[in-house]
Amino acid sequence: MNTIKLRRRLDALEEQLTSEPIVLLMPDGRTETLPGHNDYVLNLLGRAVGGDRTSDMELIARSVSSREPDGAHMIDLVRALLNGPNEDAPGTHG
Give the number of other Cβ atoms within 10 Å of residue 89's Cβ.
Answer: 8
pLDDT of residue 14: 60
Helices assigned H by DSSP within the chain:
3-16, 38-49, 55-62, 74-82
pLDDT of residue 9: 73
The answer, as to whether pTM is greater than 0.75, is: no
pLDDT of residue 26: 97
pLDDT of residue 58: 95
pLDDT of residue 11: 67
* Low-confidence residues in the chain, pLDDT < 50: 92-94
Q: Alpha-carbon distance 91 to 51, whole Å?
A: 20
